[in-house]
Every structure is written in C-alpha cells, then in structure tokens.
A and B are shown apart, each in its own frame.
Chain A
Amino acid sequence: MVVGDKRRARLLIGVRLALLTVGAVVMIIPFAYMVATSFKQNTLVLQLPPQFIPHHPTTANYHEAWSSNQFGRYFVNSLMVAAATTVLAVLLSSMMAFAFARFQFPGRRLLFGLLLIGLMVPTMMLLIPQFLLARDIGALNSLWGLVFFYTAMNLALNTFLLRSFFQDIPRELEEAMVVDGAGPFARYRQLILPLSRPALATVAIFTFLASWDEFVWALTVINDPSRRTLPIAIALFQGQHSTSWGLVFAASLIAILPVLGIFITFQRQFVSGIASGALKG
C-alpha cells in the first residue's frame, strides 16, 4: 500500500468508527435510560435533567413487578408459548424448506409463491379473519391457540430462510446418503438438520423473539387473566391516568432476560448463520 492510500484508509476507518459510535449511542441511550429508570424510586423517574446513574438505586421496582399482577405466571405462560412455538415452527418450517429445496412435485412453485404472499400481508389485516378462524376451531382464550397461530405466523419467513440455506448443501452429500440407504426422513434428520445448525439457530431466535414479543394477537384472543402473556402484563402497568415507568421498565428488563439467554446460547451459530448465507435470499 502506498503512503497516500494508507492515509486515506486511516481517514476512512476514522469516519466509519465515528458513524458507528453515533449509531451505537443512539441505540444504547434509550436502553441505558430504561435500565437506570428501573432502579429509580417512582418519584425520581421524571426528574430533570435525567439521571443515567441513580443517586439512590433501588430494586423495589423489580420486586414489585415480579410479585404484582401474577407477573410470574405471565412469565411462565410466555416462556411456554414461545418455547413451544419455536420448537414447532422450526420443525415444520425446516421440513417444508427441505421439501421445497430438494423435491420435485407438482405445484411446488405455486405453493412456494403462496407462502411468500403470506409474508407480504400486514399482520393487522389478518387479525379479524384469524380471530374468526380461532373462534371456529376453539382456539380463543387458550395458550395452545396462541402457539398454533404464532407457529403459523412464523412458517413463511422461516421456510423462506431455511430453503435457501438447504439449497446450498451439496447435492452429492444427499445422493451419497441415498446410495447408502437413507430415506428422505433419515436424510432430513441426519444430514440436512446437522449441517444447518447456524440457519436453524437463526430462525429459532427470530421465532422465539417474535412470539415472546407478540402483543396484538395475544390481547385480541386472551380474556382469561391467568392466560395472559408478558407483553400484556407489561402493558397493564401503564395506567389510564398515570404510568409507573420504573415498574414498566423493570418488567421489560425481566422480560428481556430469556431472549438474552437464548441469544447468548446460540450467538456463535446465529452469527455464522448470517455470515454463511442463512439469511440470503
């Protein structure tokens, strides 16, 4: 590299770092403020100028959030729904993706096109038809009903992502398995799934996050207070006339923990999934 190029490269790196820092600050400040507020007493929440490090930190908000409004139960409800949805959606979408990636069957393109259309319809538009369907099949006010619809909502995107990953797995490997006596299910289980761990981790995280965070559908179909999920519980902390922000933020931070745990567990595979084209498309 000649001298001029080196200087220009250094300048470019400096500009890049500055832009990234600005972006990171914009992303981090609200989160940092949320963490700070969750440790403040309620009377100090809206204090000006805002304090990022509370003078008298307290964990009272966390205690109150966890013990009030059956928060623990909602947490467990959410965990069950998100975990079941993740398992089901990843299992079904990986099977569908395998079929779309590797098998020739009549209507393959049409079916895949229909699946993609599902990605293009806004969730809000589906709310009423889905509600009518849920009513007809007895899926209202039920956690399994939530699992059923959350799974359906995640299938299209997951299948789309996994299909492109599966297509990149060398066909020769599958042919070798065919000659070795492996049927379609054995190939799916013993070749496609183990080789697609990064992609599976990626869609698992997406699915878990999507069902963990989902609010509108849960609010629409769940009436029984004991079957509420976390997003509804957090919303309940917001009163009509006043909101206890310390409580809301403490509850939100508790809600983040499982997502954080999942991300840390699958982080390596998630990143390599993105890097190796699990998300190409």
Chain B
Amino acid sequence: MATIAFNEVTKQFDDGTIAVDSLTLDVKDGEFLILVGPSGCGKTTALRMVAGLEEITSGEIRIGDKVVNDLPPVERDIAMVFQNYALYPHMTVAENIGFPLKQQGVKKDEAKQRVQDAARLLSIEDLLHRKPRALSGGQRQRVAIGRALVRRPIAFLMDEPLSNLDAKLRVQMRAELISLHKRLGVTTIFVTHDQTEAMTLGDRVVVMNKGIVQQVDTPAQLYSHPANTFVAGFIGSPAMNFLRGRLEGGAVLVGSHRVELPDATRSAVSGRTGDVVVGVRPEDFLSANGDGIAAQVAFTESLGPETLVHFRSDALEVVERREQVEAGEEEQSAGSLGELFVARFGPTTTVAADQQVSLKISAERMLLFDATSGHALN
C-alpha cells in the first residue's frame, strides 16, 4: 500500500489542450479516492499519468516515496482496471488473471495458486477455463479486477470500470468493490463521471472541471457544503436549484420571498449586500401553509420512495449556470420547458400536475454563492 501525491501536475497535449492544470492532491494510504467530473474534465488523464500511460508535462507524481514521473508503468507497482475491461480475448480467464504474474516471472505453481485465490475472492472459480467472449459483462468485470489484484499492487487505478454494466449490476458491483476495498485496504483511485458512484464509493471525492480541481472532500461535505456552483450543480440528483437572490441585512430576498438567515449564515456573509445565487436542494423546498412562494406544479415523477415535483413560480428567478450547461446534465433539459424548479417530496404526497402549491425554502440548509465567481459564501 502507498500514498499517491500529485504536485502541481500539468498535462498539455500536442494540440495545446491543457487536460490537467496544476493538479495538487494527496491520496492517503489505503484510501478510496474518486475522481469525478464531466467528460473532458481531465480525470482519466490524471489517472493515466499515475499509471504511466501518459507523460507529465510539468509537476511531479509520487507513489510512496518515489517520484515516478519517468518510471515505466511496470516499475510503478500499480494495477489498472480499464473501462472496457481490456481482457485479452485469445486467453482464458486463468491466463488473463495470471498474465501479470507471468510477466513478473512468478513460478508456475505459485502463479496458479494466486490465480485460484483471486478467482475465489471474486467468485469466478468456475470460469477459469472460459474465454472472455463467453462471459457476461459482470463476469468480465470481475476478471479484470482479478487481473489487477493478483499482482498485489500497492495501488489500484480504475477507469470508469462500471460504466458498461447495466444499472442493476452496477449497484451490485459497487457493493462488491466497497467490500473488496475493506478487505484488501489497497489505495485506490477510481475515475467516474457518475456522481452516484462517486458519492457511494469514495472515502473522498475530487470534483474536476476543465482540468482544474473544484473541490476535494467527503461525499457528505460535497453535498452539504459545495465549494462553488459547479460542484453544487454536479453533485446531487436532481441537481440543485439555483435562484437569483439579494442579500439585505440579515435576510436574503428570493424574488418576492424573504428568507431570514440563520445565525451561522448571517455571520458568514456579514457585511455583504447585493446579488447572490441561492442554491436550494430539491428536498429543501418545504410545504408552506399558504404564506410561502406561490408555485404551479408542471408535472410530477413518482420514484417510489420519493416524488419529484417540477414546478414554475413567478416569484422565483432561475440562474443559468454556464458550467452546468457544459456539464451536459440531464436536468438542464428541463430548461427547454421554461423556468422549472424541482422539489423532492415524500412518497405519499398528493401534489399533482397543474395544482397550485405554496412552498418555502429551508433557511438552515439553503446555500449562498457569489453571483460573479460562483464561490460558496456559507
């Protein structure tokens, strides 16, 4: 096991594109760290630089105490799981898993034993004689993981390994990865564009955009205290609602609605006035008894344990976030339906389409962002 440290690491491609910009990050020994962000944010490039598959333009990467900038992949003692599994199609499962050991010159008997051990750990003992084409997606994924762990590397690098699995299998594999990590305790960097994966798997999550780290934190902190509007919009599904607001004294005016700030927020923004972006998670819109924000329900989505209520309100003004649009989030498609907001209600709600409702914003959980920079204020 080992720590992995990025120190001002930059990757610029030949065409001038800066994929990773001055990345500084410490991955702790035994940590499960997630790199998440939209396509093209630099997360995979960062991972490939650790693997040695991509050269570093400037900066320094350390694995343990060793600077690995110029070390070939094999000397870094890491193992990688690829998005498309990258199983060798002409080899059996046993040969696939045992391939790294063969390259290391491990004796046949020992290699066979280690392949058996890895297969047992992943419950694929019965598949050892099959070729990859005779395996399901989940089985292939297990083989790919088996090939990575048979080497007993000091770190695992995983490049969107679950993205080709169907939704049900993905949930199952997520649980298996968590349990595997608990048993082995190997430092792991896991790249994904799926924020649910990021939130459920990681000890810490690194949110990246355009090659720049936006925030490094625990999943809970990312959700409740995002550093900026990008993180706030990227983490959480449905995405956070962004409303135009105005700070006045100890309150924020959201449209015609006035929300008194709690003490903690008040001290965080003390002395500040003027425009702000108000971030409200869907669950932080609460039912009011007629004295709240007047809203008209556009449509509802019943998801079983919860109901998503999409609504319009003349009292609220949506703030377009450029980076959210660029992130290609599904929720943005709601923009084509006008200024829609979304609230999360319980499964027993009776709210229905075209109904008039009265809502209020949870002042304690409401987030404020600088209207220009998008940085969090509270």
Contacts and interface: CB of A to CB of B under 8 A. Distances in A.
Given A173-B86, A191-B88, A194-B90, A179 B53 contact: yes
A172 interface: yes
Interface string A223-261: 000000000000000000000000000000000000000
Interface stretch (B62-70, B72-80, B167-175): B72-80
Contacts of B80: 175-176, 179
Contacts of A195: 89-90
Given A172-B82, A195-B89, A181 B53 contact: no
Contacts of A76: none
B223 interface: no
A106 interface: no
A3 B258 CA distance: 72
B100 interface: yes
B90 A179 contact: no
B147 interface: yes
Query: Is chain A's interface secondary structure helix, strand, loop, or mixed overall?
Result: helix
A176 B73 contact: no
Interface of B: 51-53, 72-74, 78-80, 82-84, 86, 88-90, 99-100, 103-104, 147, 151
A191 B104 CA distance: 17
Task: List the 6 closest A-B pairs by CB distance, nearest first.
Answer: A181-B103, A176-B86, A181-B74, A180-B100, A194-B90, A172-B86
Contacts of A181: 73-74, 100, 103-104
Interface string A187-219: 000110011000000000000000000000000
Contact of A176 (B74, B82, B90): B82
16 contacts: A172-B82, A172-B86, A175-B82, A175-B86, A176-B80, A176-B82, A177-B99, A178-B73, A178-B74, A179-B78, A179-B79, A180-B103, A181-B73, A181-B103, A191-B88, A195-B90
Contacts of B84: 170, 172
A102 B84 CA distance: 20
A157 interface: no
Given A172-B82, A186-B103, A179 B88 contact: no
A179 B103 contact: no
Nearest to B90: A194
A186 B151 CA distance: 18
A190 B91 CA distance: 10
Contacts of B151: 180
Nearest to A191: B88
A182 interface: yes
Nearest to B54: A175
Interface in A131-148: none
A175 B99 contact: no
A45 to B, nearest CB: 52
Interface centre among A170, A177, A179, A190 (most CB of B within 10 A): A179
Interface residues of A, number: 16
Contacts of B104: 181
A179 B74 CA distance: 6
A89 B29 CA distance: 51
A222 to B, nearest CB: 41
A178 B51 CA distance: 10
Contact of B103 (A170, A175, A182, A194): A182
B47 to A, nearest CB: 11
A179 B73 contact: yes
B188 to A, nearest CB: 15
A175 B90 contact: no
B53 A173 contact: no
A7 B83 CA distance: 48
B141 to A, nearest CB: 14
Contacts of B89: 173, 195
Contacts of B82: 172, 175-176
Nearest to B151: A180
Nearest to B81: A176
Nearest to A180: B100
A140 B13 CA distance: 52
Contacts of A191: 88
A188 B218 CA distance: 43
A124 B228 CA distance: 73
A174 to B, nearest CB: 9
Contacts of A186: 103
A180 B99 contact: yes
Nearest to B157: A179
Contacts of A190: 88
A98 B74 CA distance: 21
A21 to B, nearest CB: 38
Nearest to A182: B103
B257 to A, nearest CB: 52
Nearest to B104: A181
A99 B80 CA distance: 25
Contacts of A170: 84, 86
A268 to B, nearest CB: 16
Contacts of A176: 80, 82, 86, 88, 147
Nearest to A194: B90
A178 to B, nearest CB: 5
A172 B87 CA distance: 9
Given A173-B86, A176-B80, A181-B103, 12 more contacts: A170-B86, A175-B53, A176-B88, A180-B74, A180-B103, A181-B73, A182-B99, A186-B103, A190-B88, A191-B88, A195-B89, A195-B90
B2 to A, nearest CB: 16
Contacts of B73: 178-179, 181
Interface centre among A173, A181, A191 (most CB of B within 10 A): A181
A178 B103 CA distance: 10
Nearest to B86: A176
A180 B150 CA distance: 11
A232 B82 CA distance: 56
B174 to A, nearest CB: 22
B96 to A, nearest CB: 9
A75 to B, nearest CB: 36
